[in-house]
Chains A and B, each alone.
Chain A
Amino acid sequence: MSISNNRLPDVPFTFQSERSHSDLEDFIPTPSSPRNNDVGVFRLSQIIISDNEEPFIEYSESSDEKQLVYLNPPYIQENDVDWSETNKTLGVKFKPNSRNNLICYLMGKAPQEEYEEKDDRPDDQVYEFSPFDVNNNRAAFYNESFMRILKAVECDKEQKNPRVLTITNLSKVYWDYAKILENHVEKLKSQGKRTYTELNTFQNILIIWELCGIIYINPKKEYHEELSRIFQNSYGRLSKELTDWSNKYLHLLDPFEFDETNFIEVNIQNDDDFWRCLRKLVLRGSPRAIDLLDLALNNEDEDGFVVEYLMQIKQMIFSRPQYRQKEFDKFSNFFREWSDKIKGFKNELLSQRNENFPGNIISICDILLGDTEFILENSSSWIEALMSMVISHPLWDVQVLSEKARECLYRWPFNKENNEPKTLDKIIALFFHRDLEQGIKYCEDIDEWLVAHLSDMFKKFELIGKIRFQSHRHIKTNGSTTDVDIREFSLLNFAESFVSHHSLWQLAFKYFELCETYGKSYIAEHIVRIPFDNERKLSKILNICKHNGLDFQAKTILRIAGKRCLQEKRYVSSIKYFMDAGDTASLEVIFRIFLDYYTDTGDLSMFNQLESVQLDESSPDSMKFLSRYRQFHELMQSRFYQKARIYIMELIRSQIAPTTFLPVLVLNTLPLFRVAQQNNTVILTNADNFEILRNLYNLVHGMYQDECVNCLERMRSWHTYTNGYADIDEKLSVLWTAVNNNQLVVYKYGEASSSCWISD
């Protein structure tokens, strides 16, 4: 199959580290190429950063573990090319508004003129690497979770509240997060197979979120007395909640399936599968253990003593004490009694002659009694072992739990084949181990949302703080250190990924606003690079600048908008933007465009656009000039000659207009002279006369002679009789005469007589 065009479909690959290809199946297109040797692959090798000094370099060796990206046309022809012997090397550039979009390109080291050997073929490919857009299915979830983070901020800010109330409110927010996570998981489940990867991610998030909530959020010991009213007894609560957590999620962490139909006709005494299955269910505290026992009890072929033992086992499992908000002492006694019963039953069994059958029942007793050795031997994962112990020891507190978790971890034979710890295992282990900062760090492998929001909540509960950022010891240093706020670092990292998203970009800035130290810098850097193609978006961007006091950025954005409008000849919008930006230089350019247009065409229609521009005293002179000039022509048309005189003389005297426009202004006075002459009165005063005469002299004989010639030449094109205009030279000489005549009239009648009958 050949590819005719030079464009390839997007091919996903892992940016930071390896991952299973199974979750890429939905969108990996079949690689195709016209020739075998035309196909190249990009492979990512990953150096995983650990706590240790040396990085672990992990290269994928087997072909199925490679991150393959098929590129066509080829990047280079030969795999073993020694680039140092060629004029080619690799270049790279980051996209300016995204954290990790980049392009790679094959580049020439030296100009071809300096490099004598000519390559056979210029492999001038450019490869763009970009992260996939934020999953659009997440938009609603992100918006909802942002509301929670705002609530958390509110709780934290309410200084009047006693700390205990703040903690209570924050706990509510924490469990609100859990609810929206659960809702999102349900939504993803209903969407079927196509969201498998996303569902898996969110299930993992939920598992970690709930676990952290159980271990860290509810039992804040320093507020124990007050909180005990709310949370009852934290000892029993921990076991109860972890048991519930285990029932909810253990099947995800360590899947176990069995088919009940296999045990319908079972010989209980000799069926190892039955006992293995029962042990597993009891280990997991699953209620299905009772169902399985019922199935066996229904088998009428069993011996009487077998049925009796099974009934006893069922009763013990059934009556297994679970903490139900009872008084601690009562529960403790009840639990002790139950344990004693099992111990007695076990001793009774130990005296039995039949080696196999009682052995299996004894194993069930061992699990129920929480025998660490036995549980570890019979569990399929360390987390299953730990959960089994938690279920069997409902009175453990957080400290004991942490120690038992360690014990499970240390003793669990992780190097066993096909029993490797997964990322989730590692994170759960760290949280049980109470290493929150490391736990959060490893959560990056699950999702950035989790890292950001977990660290935000942990910070608010004062569970994490700042990491001391130490300059490296090998270098010349003045011993300076910087504290890095994990919460802020995680939030910035999370929010940055939205900046280039078409709809979630605003959310990015809302998150930045929650970061006290670097938030403003991030807003300042990113806000100017948000592309806008309509006024609504521009207004949103400017509001963000305003809200954060970013004047320089706002003005930069306005100048960009103004320049764009100017290029599109949308002058009014351009003027508005430049005025808001205070960019007088660019306004000057528009000012000249208007004046040039009138000089060249005599057309005033362009000036009509200015009607919608709101001007005041502080507006730039150039814009006030244009506005006044438009008003002058309006007044002339409306025969308000006196006011028109004031306006035109103001314009001439202001010297705002370039000298190239001065002839136009001066010639604009001619109609006023004519009106005055026709009506035998005075409009232009002696001083006006003098000003016009002075400018006329400068234009015709003085310093502005060149500009005058140039301007008259441009005006000549539209000063034709067919257009209703007199010849420009004729007009100029008429003006000379009119000025002189006016001087005589002013002398004869005096200025006071003016406007006595001229309407104004």
Chain B
Amino acid sequence: MTEFLFKELMLHEFLRNSVQKKKIKKKTSLMAVQAFESSHDDLIHDVSYDFYGKRLATCSSDQRVKVWEYSQENSCWEPVDTWKAHEGSVLKVSWAHPEFGQVIATCSFDRTVRIWEEQEHESRNSGKRWTEKAVLRESTGSVQDVEFAPNYMGLKFATCAADGMLRIYEALEVNNLAQWTLMEEISITTNTAGKESDGHYCLSWCPSRSTTPMIVIGCGKENCAKIFRQDSTNRWQAFEILEGHTNTVYDVSWAPSMGRAYHLIATASKDHNVRIFKLVDNKKDGFDIILAPELSDHSVEVWKVEWNVTGTILSSSGDDGRVRLWKCLLQSGEWKCMSTIYYDRQPESMEM
């Protein structure tokens, strides 16, 4: 028996050594990286893919929004149009589902949300291809996030603003983008004083069609994220708090469920950690919330988290200038960093 155990250990040692110490030529998925200059005059705040991933929208502190389209012919991203969208920094951009047409929502430091629709008859890069359909001015603080709801809910979007309010708008006539009804206006924070300085609110819709509509809101300096859902009277209420953060929550992302029996929500925080919350629908009026061990590899402020299309890979990025990709190990259920992408300067001696 002892000999057998010894042998087992030896074998694992061999395998471990073979992974740890040697430079193994691993065949992995090759990737291409393609850079393109956005030509914004100031910092970009958000980049958003359209539904099919064939288009990109970028928004910036230069108050402009740009839409890009991938050209198969030239194998590059080409600008479709650029326009001045707001009177302040444009902070977020979100595409509506294509069943509602080519529609974009933007939110800004100028306290407005604007809805834009593409006019296919206008020529590209004319500055007229995207026309403003609506300006929503309910917010009394900068609007920090905007996101269209999953299409099964109709043409709806949610915003959260520095005034500490979550707002949900709906186009009751999906073909009339000029008319938006403010369906809900809920206070995100319990602390009513100094909402403006509480900033860093962010949101993510629950993409699952099989549950009650839900949104997770990053509550910034309240050091938590809250889940809001529609109750039986169709009113939106906060019903779960995702705790454990020790500093500002910068970003939240709700994973596609893909038929799983639980939900996954990731948060990025100023406390240097990425957190993954597993929500199991066991209770009558709420979830069992399981917090996976903090992912602290960044060791600096983490600003962004996002799930891939199947909710199997989580990306995070932050002040270390690195993108980390996290995957759940089959055997242990632990989340491990599977890859890191980062910038490094080329040695100066490199021949040009």
Contact = CB atoms under 8 A, between A and B. Distances in A.
Given A50-B20, A552-B152, A556-B99, A96 B38 contact: no
Contacts of B261: 482
A131 B31 contact: yes
B33 A129 contact: yes
Contacts of A66: 344
Contact of B346 (A40, A58, A446): A40
Contact of A93 (B49, B99, B151): B49
Interface string A433-465: 100001001000111000000000000000000
A214 B10 CA distance: 26
Interface stretch (B126-134, B234-242, B286-294): B286-294
A111 B11 contact: no
Given A127-B33, A201-B27, A556-B151, A484 B43 contact: no
Contacts of B138: none
Nearest to B250: A109
Given A130-B31, A422-B24, A489-B330, A42 B343 contact: yes
Contacts of A124: 37-40, 42-44, 60
A99 B309 contact: yes
B24 A122 contact: no
Interface stretch (B178-186, B222-230, B315-323): B315-323
Contacts of A44: 339-342
Interface string A399-433: 00000001001100011000011110110011001
Contacts of B40: 122, 124
A43 B344 contact: yes
Interface string B272-314: 0000001010100000111111000000110110111110110
Nearest to A127: B35
B16 interface: yes
A176 interface: no
B173 A585 contact: yes
Contacts of A425: 18
Interface in A1-32: 1, 6-8, 10-20, 24, 31-32
A193 interface: no
* Chain A CB within 10 A, most for which of B61, B102, B309, B317: B309
A500 B308 CA distance: 14
Contacts of A232: none
Given A97-B309, A423-B25, A71 B43 contact: no
Given A49-B329, A113-B88, A410-B10, A525 B45 contact: no
Interface string B6-40: 01001110111111101111111111111111111
Contact of B342 (A42, A114, A429): A42
Nearest to A197: B27
Contacts of B39: 6, 124
B136 interface: no
Interface stretch (A237-245, A305-313, A468-476): A468-476
A232 to B, nearest CB: 32
B299 to A, nearest CB: 11
A414 B28 contact: no
Interface stretch (A72-80, A360-368, A383-391): A72-80
A56 B20 contact: yes
B44 A90 contact: no
B210 to A, nearest CB: 10
Contacts of A284: none
Given A15-B339, A88-B43, A469-B330, A531 B313 contact: no
Nearest to B31: A15
Interface in B319-337: 319-323, 325, 329-334, 336-337
B25 A19 contact: yes
Nearest to B32: A10
B174 interface: yes
Q: How large is the interface on B (under 10, 10 to 19, 20 to 34, 35 or more residues)?
A: 35 or more
Contact of B256 (A430, A475, A525): A525
B310 to A, nearest CB: 6
A612 B249 CA distance: 57
Contacts of A71: 33, 35, 343
A47 B352 contact: no
A620 B34 CA distance: 49
Contacts of B346: 31, 36, 39-41, 68, 70
Contacts of A68: 346
B99 A563 contact: yes
Contacts of A171: none
A129 to B, nearest CB: 5
Contact of B321 (A47, A90, A446, A563): A90
A585 B171 CA distance: 12
A91 interface: yes
A522 B41 contact: no
A543 interface: no
B58 interface: yes
Given A41-B344, A111-B89, A423 B24 contact: yes
B209 interface: yes
B53 interface: yes
Contacts of B260: 518, 521
B347 interface: yes
Interface string B152-196: 100000000000000000000111000000000000000000000
A625 to B, nearest CB: 18
A86 to B, nearest CB: 9
Given A40-B344, A201-B27, A526-B309, A521 B259 contact: yes
Contact of A79 (B89, B329, B345): B345
A16 B18 contact: no
Interface string B244-278: 00000000000011111100000000000000001
Interface stretch (A100-108, A222-230, A274-282): A100-108
Nearest to B75: A10
B120 interface: yes
B110 to A, nearest CB: 9
Contact of A126 (B47, B53, B91): B47
A420 B22 contact: yes
A128 interface: yes
B28 A132 contact: no
A125 interface: yes
A56 B322 CA distance: 18
Contacts of A430: 15
Contact of B333 (A16, A204, A414, A469): A469
Contacts of B34: 7-8, 10-11, 127-128, 130
B106 interface: no
A92 B306 contact: yes
A496 B313 CA distance: 13
Nearest to B9: A410
Nearest to B20: A56
Contacts of B101: 563, 567
B20 A467 contact: no
Interface in A261-275: none
A441 B329 CA distance: 11
A93 B88 CA distance: 24
A521 to B, nearest CB: 3
Contacts of B289: 476
B317 A89 contact: yes
A237 to B, nearest CB: 26
Interface string A564-583: 10011000000000000000
Interface of B: 7, 10-12, 14-20, 22-54, 56, 58, 60-61, 74-77, 88-89, 91, 97-102, 109, 120, 142, 151-152, 173-175, 209, 256-261, 278, 280, 282, 288-293, 300-301, 303-304, 306-310, 312-313, 315-323, 325, 329-334, 336-348, 350, 352
8 contacts: A10-B75, A44-B342, A47-B338, A79-B344, A92-B304, A105-B44, A126-B37, A556-B151
Given A18-B26, A124-B42, 15 more contacts: A10-B75, A46-B340, A55-B336, A90-B304, A94-B308, A100-B308, A128-B77, A131-B29, A415-B17, A423-B25, A429-B11, A433-B11, A531-B52, A563-B100, A585-B173
